[in-house]
Structure 1
Amino acid sequence: MLCKYCAGFSLKLLREGNYNHQPSLEHLQSSALNGCGGCDILYRAIGETITGNTDRKTGHVWFGQANRTHATPALVENNAWVDLRYMGSARTLYLAADEGSHASRFVNYRVVDPDPTSATTYRRLKGWIHDCVASHPKCRHKALRLLPTRVLDVSLPGSEFNKLRIYTSCGAEEGDYVALSYCWGNANPVTTTRANLESHKRGILEASLPKTIRDAISVTRDLGIRFLWVDALCIIQDSLNGEDWHAESSKMRDVYSNAYVTISAETAIDANAGFLAHRSSEGTNRGFMLPYLSVNGSEHGSVYLQQKPADRNRCLSYRAWAFQERRLSTRVLDYQAGQISLTCRTGMIEESSAELVKGGSVIIYQEGSRPLHLSVPTSGGKERYRNVFLEWYTGIENYSRRDLTYESDKLPAISGYAQAVQEVIRGTYWVGIWKEDLLVGLLWSASSTRNRLRKPSPRGCPSWSWAALDGAVDYHSLWIRYGNPRQESGLELKLIEDHVEPLAVDSIGQVIGGNLRVSGYMKKVTCLPVGWGVAWERQDIFTSSDVENWDPLGDFIGDDQRPSTSTDCTGRPFAICMFDTDGIRPKDIWCLAVVSTKGLVLEYLAEKKVYQRVGFFMFSDPTWMSKCPVSTITIV
C-alpha cells in the first residue's frame, strides 16, 4: 500500500523541480505506521539524521537532486542520486535496478539479493572473479601457486572422497584454494592437534565445525574450488614447542597471496557466528519503486530508490592477524552486513554496483612480482622508497590499534606483510623497524588519543621497537609525508653496530633480543611537570602543527640549566616529552637526538652499562642538542 504522495512521485516530476512529500516528519511516521511501504523506507532513512530537538510537526519532507558530480540532470542515466530532505537534514538515496532488467542498461546500481547463498548471488561472485583473473594484469599470478602444507578438502560433488578431510600436499603441489580470514573470538573451534591429525586426514564431521567455518566451506564449494585453508584446522595447534605453528605462521605471506580468493568474514564476531545469514536489514530492502523512464520518454519497467547497503559490524577491522591477511591477498570477498564486495589489486566492486571502482586495494603489489601495491619510484637516492616506508608507518599505526588474543603474536602477525615489503626494498628488517630508514623508524610514540602503552610479559623485543610495548602508537605520518624527516642537520644519529637474534625459523618474526650501538648528541635532563614556569607557552616553542592534539606528560630542561628552586623557573622548557608508559619515572633521564628536532628519551641501566628507551621527545632549537658532546652508547 502506498500513500498519495508516494503513489504520485515519479522521476519526471523530480526532473521538473523539487518534489514535496509528506507535510511533516510526524505525518511521514504516521503514514509508515499505517502501512505505506514507501513512507516506511523514507522515514527510516531520514530518521537517522534527525536529532531529538528537531521540530517534527512543521516543514515538508521533500526530494531534490543530490549535489554530486556524477548525478545526471535527467536522473535516468548511470549513477543517479537523490537527496531526501527535512528541515536542513538530508539523506542521500540512490536509484537501483534489478540485474538484467531494461533499466539496468542505464542505471549502474543494483538491488541486492537478500539471500547471500542464492544462485543469482553466486553467478555474480563467479563473474567478478572470472573477470579479475582473465582481464586484470595486476591480479595475475606469474609465480607458481603452491598449495599450503595442509588444506581442507571440501569434497566437491563427483570427487573421489565424499567427506571433509585434511589434505597434506607434497610440498610442491600446485592448485587453487580459498583462504579464510575470520575471528576466533571467544569461541573454541574444532582444531587440529597431534592427537587428532591422522583422524582429520581420514575425515571430519562437518556438523562438528563452527558456523563460520561451515559457511566458508559452503562458499568454497559453490565457487567450484576443492580446497579451503583455515588456520584452526590446517596448523597443528599443540605441536611440540610450537614448532608447527612457528613454521606455518612464517608462511602466511604465501598462504594468502597464493590463494585464489580470500573470504573475509567481516560480520562474524566469532567462529560460531557465521556470515551467510539472510540479509533482511534496510540495506537490502528493495526500496521505493518508481517507473523507469528511458531517454526518449517511454516506460521500461521499474527502478528502486533506496539507501546504500549497510556497512557495519566490521569485526575484522579490530583483529590484528586480519591486517596482513587482507593486504597479502590477491582478491578478497568481503561478507558485510548489507552486501558482498570483491576487492582486488585493480579495484573494488559491490553487489549494489554494476561497475568496478578503479584504484585497487591496500594490498601491496609490485609489477612482475608477488603482490605489492606500494608505489616504488625508479629514482635513486635516499628518498627512493619514501612511499613504501610511509605505507609501512601508517600501516603500523593501524595495526597497533588492533586486538591480539596472544600478545606474543605481535611480530608473527605482521611478518608476512614485512616479507612482502622486504622484497620491494631489499632491506634489513629488525623487529618492526627497517634499517634503511632507521632514524624515522625509531621515532614512534604512544598515541595521544589512547591510553599509554603497557609493558607486556617479556617477549624479547628491544625497547627501541614499537613491538616491545602493547597499545596504539603514532608515527606522526603528516610529518613524514609533508616534512623532511631525513634532512641533513648535523644531529642525525649514526648506527655503529647492531645485533638482533631471531627466535627460530622465521627470521623476521619473533626474536630473543636485540641491541643497537649508536653515536649521537646526548644530554642528561630533568623532567618537570607539564606547565612549569611562568606560563605554558607551547606555541612559542613549537608550531601549532607540531603540537596539535598532542598530550605530553612532561617538559625537559637540561641539567646544566636546572633552576635552584622551583620558584626560579622563569624560562621556558626546551623540549616536551611523551613517556611510553605510565608509572614511576626513571631517576636518570637522557635525551638522544635522532633527527633535527626529535629524539628518544632514555634510561641508564647502570648494572649493564646500557640504555633503554622510555619515551619520545621533540625540541625546537637544534642548538639545544648540538652543543652537547657526541656519545657512543648501546640501546637494548
Structure 2
Amino acid sequence: MNGCEICLFIIIAIEKKRTHEWDPDDVLIFRNRPSKTRPGTTPLGIDVLEGSLSSGAAFISIHPYAEQGERLQLDTGPSSTCTVGNPAAGVIRRRPLQRDVKSKRVISAARGLYKECKESHKLCRYARDTVLPSRVLDLGTAEAPTLRLYVNNTGEHGEYVALSYCWGGQQQGLLRRRTLSNMENAIRLKSLQSTVRDAIEATRKLGFRYLWVDALCIIQDCDMDKDKEIAKMAMIYKNAAVTIAAGTAEKAADGFLNMELTYLPKDKFDVPMPGGGKGTVHLRAEAHVPEHALDERGWALQEFLLSSRMLIFSEYELLWQCKEVELRGVSGTGLEYLQPQENLPWSVFDEETESIFGDEDLEKRYTWRTIVEQYTLRQLGFKDDRLNALRGTTRELETLWRDTHRFGLWTKWSVELLAWSKRDCDGDDETKETSREGRAPTWSWASVNGRIRFTQMFEREDAVFQQVTLLEARVSRRVVLRCRIVAEDHVDPEIFEDDESDKGRAETCYDMDDSIDEVGNRPMNFLLLGTTREEGKRLGVATMVVEVLGGLFQRVGLAIFENIDVWKDSEYRSITLQ
C-alpha cells in the first residue's frame, strides 16, 4: 500500500466504516466544514474535514487538532504576526481539550439542556412523580445553605438529584442507626467522601436543593431498611430530576470535579506548511468512546437504565444524555461521543409508548437478554448482590410487563432464558469458579459469577414450564419442566470429539471451570429446551443436568447439538430442577 502516513490513517478509518464497495472511478473529496467562532476564541481555520465521494455520498469525518503555537508580533506592521513552535496552529482550529466540568459556562449550558428537556421532550416525561424519597440530603438554599438529612414522613414533593457513583470499598460518614438522629440535625461536609462532597457542590450549582445518595439515605447497618429502600431504587432514579454520574471516580474518596486532564488524539503527523517547514497535527476519525470507572460497576447499570436524564462528569467534559438526546458534551463544542452502553429500547420502561421493534414480545426479550449480558460484564463489591443490584429494574419491569421475575428469569420466557452459559466468555474473568454460589438455584445465571451469554432467540420451545402459584413462583427454588431428556451414554461420543462427524457435532459448556467439581461420577443428562439458529444452522439447545437426590436434578452446563434427532425416541416427562 503506497501513500503517506495520513493517507494510510484515512484508509484504515474508511475500512472500519465501509459498508459497500467503493467504485474505482469514484474520488474521495475533503471539504472544511464551516466553523463558527466567538470573538476572542480560536481563529477561523480548519475545523472538521468532511470526506465524501464525488458521487455525493458522505463517507468520513476527520477531526484535526494542533497544540497551540506562540503568536509573535512582527516588526513589519501592527497587524503582522507569526506562529512559532507549531506552525499548524495557525491553520488548525481545534486545540487540546482541557477538562472543564464546573465553570459557569458549562453549568449554565447544563441547566439549559435540563430546562429544554423538561419542557419539550416527550420521551423523558416518565419522571413525573415528584414525591421525594424516604430520605434525602437537604442542601438548603443559596441564601441559607445547610447540610442535613431530611426524612420525608409526609410524602412531600420536590425536585431532587440522584447520585450514581463507585463506592470502591467501605466509606466514611455512612448513615447508621446510631448516627440517624445527629445527621437529621446537621452533617459535617468534611466528614463525607470527596465524591459525595463534589456531588453536593454540583447539585447546588445546578440549582437543586435535594440530593439522594445511597450511602447517606439508606441505613447501612439495618437489613430491613436496606431491603425496603433497594426495592424503591427504580422509582428513585426514574423520578429524579437528573442523575449525576461520577464517571471518572474509581472510589468514593476520589471525587470528580477537580481532575485535570487534556484530550489530544494519539495519532500524530508532521505535515508540510504553505510557508515552508512542518507543523504537527493530531487526527481523529471516530467518535470518542468515554472510559468511565462507573461503567464497570454492577449497581450503576440499573441507575443508567432508569434515569430519564443524566449529567455525566466524564474524562474531558460534562456530558448530557436523556431519552431524546444521545450522549453529547453540554457545550456542544467539544468531542463527538459514542455511548459505550448498548442502546436499549427505552419504550419498555414506559407503558404508554409503542414498541419500536413492532413486536412487543420480541422487544422485551431482547431488552432483558441485553441487560443481563451487559450487567454480568460488570463488577460487584459483594458477590451476593448479583440479584440485588438489578432488583430496582426487575420491580419496575414486573409492573410494566405484568409478569413475574424469578431468580433472573421471566415467567413468559422462562424456557428460553434457561439457555445461558459462559460460552465464548473465556478470559473475561481471571478468577476460576469451582463452586456454585448458594444465592440462587442452579438453573439461574445468578448462581454463578462472571459474564454469561444467551444463545440466539429460540425458533421453537420444546420444553414447557409447569404452572405454579404466584407464591411458589416468587419463593420456590425448584422448577418443573415437561421435557425430553436423554442420558449421555445414549449419545454417540463421536459427536463431542469429531468436528467432521456425519452425525452432527455437539458442543458442551460447563458452568464450573472444572466439571468434576459438580458432576463427579454421576451420569450426565441432556434436557432439550428448544431450537435456535446460528449461521443458518438449526441447532438444539439443551441444559446439562445430573440427578442429585430422589428425582431432583441440578444444572451443570449447556450443550448445543447440530442434530436434534438425539431426542427422537425420548418421551416427554416431568423433571424437577433445583
Which of the five TM-score ranges fits, normalised by the shorter chain?
0.7 to 0.9
SS at match of 1:274: coil
Q: Is the 8 A contact 2:132 2:157 kept in 1?
A: yes
Cα distance in structure 2, aligned partners of 1:390 and 1:145: 31
SS at match of 1:73: strand
SS at match of 1:180: strand
Aligned equivalent of 1:245, options 217, 226, 240:
226
| Cα deviation, residue 350, structure 1 | 1.4
Aligned equivalent of 1:495, options 433, 450, 465:
465
| Cα deviation, residue 338, structure 1 | 1.2
Aligned equivalent of 2:63, options 93, 115, 123:
93
Aligned equivalent of 2:498, options 534, 537, 552:
537
Give the match for residue 190 of structure 2.
207
Number of residue pairs the alignment of both structures matches? 491
Alignment of 1:450-599 (within 5 A): 450=426, 451=429, 453=433, 455-459=435-439, 461-476=440-455, 479-480=456-457, 485-487=458-460, 492-498=462-468, 513-526=476-489, 536-538=497-499, 575-583=506-514, 584=516, 585-586=519-520, 587-596=522-531, 597-599=540-542
Give the match for residue 630 of structure 1.
572
| Cα deviation, residue 378, structure 1 | 6.1
Q: Does 1:443 align with 2:443?
A: no
Deviations 1:602-624 (A, max 9, x none): 11013x43111111111122221
AA aligned to 2:543 is L
AA aligned to 2:420 is W
Q: Is the 8 A contact 2:504 2:561 kept in 1?
A: no
Give the match for residue 615 of structure 1.
557
Q: Does 1:257 align with 2:238?
A: yes
**Identity %, equivalent residues:** 26
Cα distance in structure 1, aligned partners of 2:568 and 2:249: 55
Give the match for residue 149 of structure 1.
134
Taking structure 1 as reference, are residues 306 and 125 closer, same or farther at Cα in structure 2, changes over 3 Å only?
Answer: farther
SS at match of 1:538: coil
Q: Does 1:323 align with 2:324?
A: no
| Cα deviation, residue 630, structure 1 | 1.8
Aligned equivalent of 2:401, options 416, 425, 433:
425
Cα distance in structure 1, aligned partners of 2:390 and 2:484: 33
Q: Is the 8 A contact 1:430 1:500 kept in 2?
A: no
| Cα deviation, residue 282, structure 1 | 2.7
Alignment of 1:371-386 (within 5 A): 375=355, 384-386=360-362
Cα distance in structure 1, aligned partners of 2:362 and 2:214: 34
Cα distance in structure 2, aligned partners of 1:258 and 1:512: 29
Q: Is the 8 A contact 2:345 2:363 kept in 1?
A: no
Cα distance in structure 1, aligned partners of 2:469 and 2:172: 40
Unmatched 5+ residue regions in structure 1? 1-57, 85-89, 97-106, 289-303, 542-571
Q: Does 120-129 or 308-317 show the bigger shift?
A: 308-317
Q: Is the 8 A contact 1:261 1:332 kept in 2?
A: yes
Q: Is the 8 A contact 2:554 2:577 kept in 1?
A: yes
Q: Is the 8 A contact 2:463 2:481 kept in 1?
A: yes
| Cα deviation, residue 443, structure 1 | 0.4
SS at match of 1:185: coil
AA aligned to 1:593 is L
Taking structure 1 as reference, are residues 314 and 372 closer, same or farther at Cα in structure 2, changes over 3 Å only?
Answer: farther
| Cα deviation, residue 223, structure 1 | 0.5
AA aligned to 1:517 is V
Deviations 1:444-499 (A, max 9, x none): 0124233565545422x1111111111211113xx22xxxx1336xxx10222447
| Cα deviation, residue 110, structure 1 | 10
SS at match of 1:154: strand
Cα distance in structure 2, aligned partners of 1:629 and 1:165: 66
Taking structure 1 as reference, are residues 209 and 521 closer, same or farther at Cα in structure 2, changes over 3 Å only?
Answer: same
| Cα deviation, residue 205, structure 1 | 0.4
Cα distance in structure 1, aligned partners of 2:147 and 2:156: 20
Give the match for residue 341 of structure 1.
319
Give the match for residue 278 of structure 2.
none
Q: Does 422-431 or 445-454 show the bigger shift?
A: 445-454
Give the match for residue 603 of structure 1.
546
Taking structure 1 as reference, are residues 232 and 469 closer, same or farther at Cα in structure 2, changes over 3 Å only?
Answer: same
Q: Is the 8 A contact 1:111 1:352 kept in 2?
A: no
Give the match for residue 399 of structure 1.
375
Q: Is the 8 A contact 2:165 2:247 kept in 1?
A: yes
Q: Does 1:220 align with 2:193?
A: no
Deviations 1:283-317 (A, max 9, x none): 599x99xxxxxxxxxxxxxxx98768975541111
SS at match of 1:151: strand
Backbone CA RMSD of aligned residues: 4.1
Cα distance in structure 1, aligned partners of 2:30 and 2:116: 28
Cα distance in structure 2, aligned partners of 1:373 and 1:236: 36
Q: Is the 8 A contact 1:364 1:420 kept in 2?
A: no
Q: Is the 8 A contact 1:215 1:276 kept in 2?
A: yes
Q: Is the 8 A contact 1:181 1:264 kept in 2?
A: yes
Q: Is the 8 A contact 2:289 2:338 kept in 1?
A: no
| Cα deviation, residue 629, structure 1 | 2.1
Give the match for residue 102 of structure 2.
117
Give the match for residue 14 of structure 1.
none
SS at match of 2:477: strand
Q: Is the 8 A contact 1:187 1:270 kept in 2?
A: no
AA aligned to 1:125 is A
Cα distance in structure 2, aligned partners of 1:283 and 1:576: 46
Give the match for residue 561 of structure 1.
none
Cα distance in structure 2, aligned partners of 1:59 and 1:376: 45
AA aligned to 1:620 is E
Q: Is the 8 A contact 1:75 1:81 kept in 2?
A: yes
Cα distance in structure 2, aligned partners of 1:121 and 1:112: 14
Taking structure 1 as reference, are residues 63 and 408 closer, same or farther at Cα in structure 2, changes over 3 Å only?
Answer: closer
Give the match for residue 353 of structure 1.
332
SS at match of 1:393: helix
AA aligned to 1:178 is V
Cα distance in structure 1, aligned partners of 2:398 and 2:5: 59
Aligned equivalent of 1:332, options 307, 310, 314:
310
Q: Is the 8 A contact 1:332 1:342 kept in 2?
A: yes
Q: Is the 8 A contact 1:601 1:616 kept in 2?
A: yes
Cα distance in structure 1, aligned partners of 2:233 and 2:93: 37
Q: Is the 8 A contact 1:267 1:335 kept in 2?
A: yes
